[in-house]
A and B are shown apart, each in its own frame.
Chain A
Amino acid sequence: ETGVTQTPRHLVMGMTNKKSLKCEQHLGHNAMYWYKQSAKKPLELMFVYSLEERVENNSVPSRFSPECPNSSHLFLHLHTLQPEDSALYLCASSQLAGDSYEQYFGPGTRLTVT
Protein backbone atom coordinates (compact mmCIF):
# COMPACT_ATOMS: atom_id res chain seq x y z
CA GLU A 1 0.00 0.00 0.00
CA THR A 2 2.96 2.36 -0.13
CA GLY A 3 2.13 3.18 -3.78
CA VAL A 4 -0.81 5.37 -2.75
CA THR A 5 -0.83 7.00 0.67
CA GLN A 6 -3.66 8.83 2.40
CA THR A 7 -3.65 11.08 5.44
CA PRO A 8 -5.13 11.20 7.93
CA ARG A 9 -6.24 7.59 8.37
CA HIS A 10 -8.98 8.61 10.79
CA LEU A 11 -10.79 11.93 11.14
CA VAL A 12 -13.57 13.05 13.44
CA MET A 13 -15.06 16.44 12.67
CA GLY A 14 -18.05 18.50 13.66
CA MET A 15 -20.55 19.73 11.12
CA THR A 16 -19.15 23.25 11.22
CA ASN A 17 -15.49 22.31 10.81
CA LYS A 18 -13.29 22.59 7.72
CA LYS A 19 -10.78 19.84 7.09
CA SER A 20 -8.86 18.35 4.17
CA LEU A 21 -8.00 14.82 3.14
CA LYS A 22 -4.70 14.27 1.37
CA CYS A 23 -3.70 11.62 -1.14
CA GLU A 24 -0.29 11.07 -2.69
CA GLN A 25 0.64 8.54 -5.35
CA HIS A 26 4.21 7.37 -5.95
CA LEU A 27 3.47 5.31 -9.08
CA GLY A 28 3.92 7.90 -11.82
CA HIS A 29 0.26 7.66 -12.80
CA ASN A 30 -1.61 10.39 -14.67
CA ALA A 31 -5.12 9.92 -13.26
CA MET A 32 -6.45 10.12 -9.70
CA TYR A 33 -9.83 9.38 -8.17
CA TRP A 34 -11.87 9.93 -5.01
CA TYR A 35 -14.38 7.29 -3.93
CA LYS A 36 -16.83 7.17 -1.03
CA GLN A 37 -17.51 3.82 0.62
CA SER A 38 -20.44 3.69 3.01
CA ALA A 39 -21.62 0.66 4.94
CA LYS A 40 -23.85 -1.61 2.87
CA LYS A 41 -23.61 0.63 -0.22
CA PRO A 42 -21.65 0.22 -3.45
CA LEU A 43 -18.48 2.18 -4.01
CA GLU A 44 -19.40 5.69 -5.15
CA LEU A 45 -17.09 7.42 -7.60
CA MET A 46 -16.92 11.07 -6.59
CA PHE A 47 -14.28 12.77 -8.73
CA VAL A 48 -11.80 11.90 -11.45
CA TYR A 49 -8.73 13.91 -12.39
CA SER A 50 -6.87 13.13 -15.58
CA LEU A 51 -3.62 14.99 -16.21
CA GLU A 52 -4.63 17.35 -13.36
CA GLU A 53 -7.90 18.30 -15.06
CA ARG A 54 -11.19 17.33 -13.42
CA VAL A 55 -12.94 15.10 -15.94
CA GLU A 56 -15.74 13.70 -13.84
CA ASN A 57 -17.88 14.95 -11.00
CA ASN A 58 -20.70 12.59 -10.13
CA SER A 59 -23.22 15.05 -8.70
CA VAL A 60 -21.26 15.44 -5.51
CA PRO A 61 -22.52 18.11 -3.07
CA SER A 62 -20.52 21.32 -3.04
CA ARG A 63 -19.48 20.74 0.57
CA PHE A 64 -16.88 18.40 -1.00
CA SER A 65 -14.25 20.30 -2.99
CA PRO A 66 -11.40 18.45 -4.73
CA GLU A 67 -8.03 19.89 -5.66
CA CYS A 68 -5.29 18.35 -7.79
CA PRO A 69 -2.22 20.64 -7.75
CA ASN A 70 -0.04 18.14 -9.65
CA SER A 71 -0.18 14.58 -10.93
CA SER A 72 1.04 13.11 -7.62
CA HIS A 73 -1.24 14.86 -5.16
CA LEU A 74 -4.99 14.99 -4.66
CA PHE A 75 -6.92 16.73 -1.91
CA LEU A 76 -10.53 16.62 -0.79
CA HIS A 77 -11.54 19.75 1.09
CA LEU A 78 -14.48 19.28 3.46
CA HIS A 79 -16.73 21.93 4.99
CA THR A 80 -20.12 21.93 6.73
CA LEU A 81 -20.52 18.20 6.35
CA GLN A 82 -23.55 16.18 7.43
CA PRO A 83 -23.60 13.02 9.57
CA GLU A 84 -24.52 10.98 6.47
CA ASP A 85 -21.14 11.96 5.01
CA SER A 86 -19.48 9.64 7.54
CA ALA A 87 -17.76 6.95 5.45
CA LEU A 88 -14.45 5.57 4.26
CA TYR A 89 -12.96 7.88 1.62
CA LEU A 90 -10.69 6.10 -0.80
CA CYS A 91 -8.18 7.62 -3.17
CA ALA A 92 -6.95 5.74 -6.23
CA SER A 93 -4.64 6.32 -9.15
CA SER A 94 -4.11 4.74 -12.56
CA GLN A 95 -2.27 5.16 -15.81
CA LEU A 96 -4.55 6.13 -18.68
CA ALA A 97 -2.56 4.57 -21.51
CA GLY A 98 -1.65 1.19 -22.89
CA ASP A 99 -3.43 -1.94 -21.72
CA SER A 100 -3.21 -1.26 -18.04
CA TYR A 101 -5.91 0.87 -16.39
CA GLU A 102 -6.05 -1.02 -13.12
CA GLN A 103 -6.52 1.41 -10.30
CA TYR A 104 -4.34 1.31 -7.22
CA PHE A 105 -6.01 2.34 -3.99
CA GLY A 106 -4.82 3.99 -0.83
CA PRO A 107 -5.80 2.65 2.62
CA GLY A 108 -8.57 5.22 2.99
CA THR A 109 -9.54 7.86 5.51
CA ARG A 110 -12.27 6.83 7.95
CA LEU A 111 -14.34 10.01 8.40
CA THR A 112 -16.85 10.47 11.21
CA VAL A 113 -19.03 13.58 11.22
CA THR A 114 -20.53 14.37 14.61
Chain B
Amino acid sequence: AQSVAQPEDQVNVAEGNPLTVKCTYSVSGNPYLFWYVQYPNRGLQFLLKYITGDNLVKGSYGFEAEFNKSQTSFHLKKPSALVSDSALYFCAVRDKSGNTPLVFGKGTRLSVIA
Protein backbone atom coordinates (compact mmCIF):
# COMPACT_ATOMS: atom_id res chain seq x y z
CA ALA B 1 0.00 0.00 0.00
CA GLN B 2 1.12 3.53 -0.72
CA SER B 3 0.91 6.42 1.71
CA VAL B 4 2.12 9.97 2.17
CA ALA B 5 2.62 11.93 5.38
CA GLN B 6 2.81 15.69 5.61
CA PRO B 7 3.56 16.15 9.31
CA GLU B 8 2.81 19.89 9.46
CA ASP B 9 -0.68 21.30 9.01
CA GLN B 10 0.71 24.85 8.88
CA VAL B 11 4.09 26.40 8.11
CA ASN B 12 4.77 30.08 8.71
CA VAL B 13 7.79 31.82 7.24
CA ALA B 14 8.90 35.42 6.81
CA GLU B 15 9.17 36.82 3.30
CA GLY B 16 12.71 36.43 1.97
CA ASN B 17 13.52 33.51 4.26
CA PRO B 18 14.00 29.96 2.99
CA LEU B 19 11.02 27.64 3.28
CA THR B 20 10.67 23.89 3.66
CA VAL B 21 7.47 21.86 3.48
CA LYS B 22 7.98 18.29 4.63
CA CYS B 23 6.80 15.06 3.03
CA THR B 24 7.57 11.42 3.75
CA TYR B 25 6.22 8.49 1.78
CA SER B 26 5.78 4.75 1.87
CA VAL B 27 5.62 2.48 -1.18
CA SER B 28 6.46 -1.16 -1.68
CA GLY B 29 8.72 -0.51 -4.67
CA ASN B 30 10.27 2.61 -6.17
CA PRO B 31 8.30 5.84 -6.04
CA TYR B 32 7.11 8.51 -8.39
CA LEU B 33 6.81 11.66 -6.25
CA PHE B 34 4.94 14.90 -6.92
CA TRP B 35 4.23 18.28 -5.39
CA TYR B 36 1.09 20.30 -6.11
CA VAL B 37 -0.04 23.74 -4.98
CA GLN B 38 -3.60 24.95 -4.48
CA TYR B 39 -4.53 28.62 -4.30
CA PRO B 40 -7.90 29.66 -2.83
CA ASN B 41 -10.90 28.57 -4.91
CA ARG B 42 -8.68 26.90 -7.49
CA GLY B 43 -7.78 23.35 -8.46
CA LEU B 44 -4.42 21.77 -7.72
CA GLN B 45 -1.53 22.91 -9.91
CA PHE B 46 1.40 20.61 -10.67
CA LEU B 47 4.70 21.99 -9.34
CA LEU B 48 7.33 19.30 -9.85
CA LYS B 49 7.97 15.58 -9.92
CA TYR B 50 10.69 13.02 -9.22
CA ILE B 51 10.77 10.09 -11.60
CA THR B 52 14.42 9.04 -11.75
CA GLY B 53 17.88 10.58 -12.00
CA ASP B 54 19.05 13.58 -9.97
CA ASN B 55 17.75 13.62 -6.44
CA LEU B 56 17.28 17.40 -6.59
CA VAL B 57 14.32 18.30 -8.76
CA LYS B 58 13.57 21.83 -9.87
CA GLY B 59 10.04 22.96 -10.63
CA SER B 60 7.81 25.95 -11.22
CA TYR B 61 8.01 29.31 -9.40
CA GLY B 62 11.53 28.65 -8.05
CA PHE B 63 10.55 25.60 -6.02
CA GLU B 64 12.70 22.50 -5.72
CA ALA B 65 12.48 19.22 -3.89
CA GLU B 66 15.04 16.70 -2.78
CA PHE B 67 14.43 12.98 -3.01
CA ASN B 68 16.05 11.10 -0.13
CA LYS B 69 15.61 7.36 -0.49
CA SER B 70 17.13 6.41 2.85
CA GLN B 71 14.82 8.76 4.73
CA THR B 72 11.89 8.15 2.34
CA SER B 73 11.41 11.90 2.12
CA PHE B 74 10.66 14.42 -0.61
CA HIS B 75 10.72 17.83 1.08
CA LEU B 76 9.72 20.92 -0.90
CA LYS B 77 12.06 23.90 -0.65
CA LYS B 78 12.49 27.44 -1.88
CA PRO B 79 15.51 29.64 -1.09
CA SER B 80 13.55 32.87 -0.66
CA ALA B 81 9.82 32.87 0.09
CA LEU B 82 7.34 35.31 -1.42
CA VAL B 83 4.02 36.41 0.02
CA SER B 84 2.43 35.06 -3.17
CA ASP B 85 3.70 31.57 -2.27
CA SER B 86 1.04 31.42 0.48
CA ALA B 87 -1.17 28.49 -0.45
CA LEU B 88 -1.98 24.86 0.32
CA TYR B 89 0.71 22.37 -0.74
CA PHE B 90 0.14 18.68 -1.42
CA CYS B 91 2.68 15.91 -1.75
CA ALA B 92 1.69 12.80 -3.74
CA VAL B 93 3.19 9.40 -4.50
CA ARG B 94 2.60 6.35 -6.62
CA ASP B 95 4.53 3.13 -6.98
CA LYS B 96 6.42 2.74 -10.26
CA SER B 97 5.06 -0.77 -10.63
CA GLY B 98 1.35 -1.01 -11.20
CA ASN B 99 -1.15 1.41 -12.58
CA THR B 100 -2.60 3.08 -9.50
CA PRO B 101 -3.75 6.68 -9.05
CA LEU B 102 -1.69 9.13 -7.08
CA VAL B 103 -2.01 9.04 -3.31
CA PHE B 104 -2.09 12.53 -1.82
CA GLY B 105 -1.04 13.80 1.58
CA LYS B 106 -3.48 15.86 3.64
CA GLY B 107 -1.81 19.12 2.67
CA THR B 108 0.27 21.78 4.41
CA ARG B 109 -0.85 25.38 4.54
CA LEU B 110 2.05 27.75 3.92
CA SER B 111 1.76 31.34 5.12
CA VAL B 112 4.46 33.77 4.08
CA ILE B 113 4.40 36.92 6.18
CA ALA B 114 5.61 40.25 4.82
Q: A105 and B44: CB pair below 8 A?
A: yes
CA distance A56 to B90 in the complex (A): 22
Q: B101 and A105: CB pair below 8 A?
A: no
Q: B99 and A1: CB pair below 8 A?
A: no
CA distance A86 to B44 in the complex (A): 19
Q: Chain A contacts of B102 at CB under 8 A?
A: 101-103
* A–B Cβ pairs within 8 angstroms, 16 of them: A41-B106, A42-B105, A43-B104, A43-B106, A43-B107, A56-B101, A99-B51, A102-B49, A102-B102, A103-B44, A103-B101, A105-B44, A107-B41, A108-B41, A108-B42, A110-B41
Given contacts A33-B101, A48-B101, A101-B32, A1 and B107 within 8 Å (CB-CB): no
User: How many residue pairs bridge A and B at CB < 8 Å?
Assistant: 51
Picked from B32, B41, B43, B106, the residue with its CB within 8 Å of the CB of A105 is B43
Q: Does A75 contact B (CB under 8 A)?
A: no
Q: Does A64 contact B (CB under 8 A)?
A: no
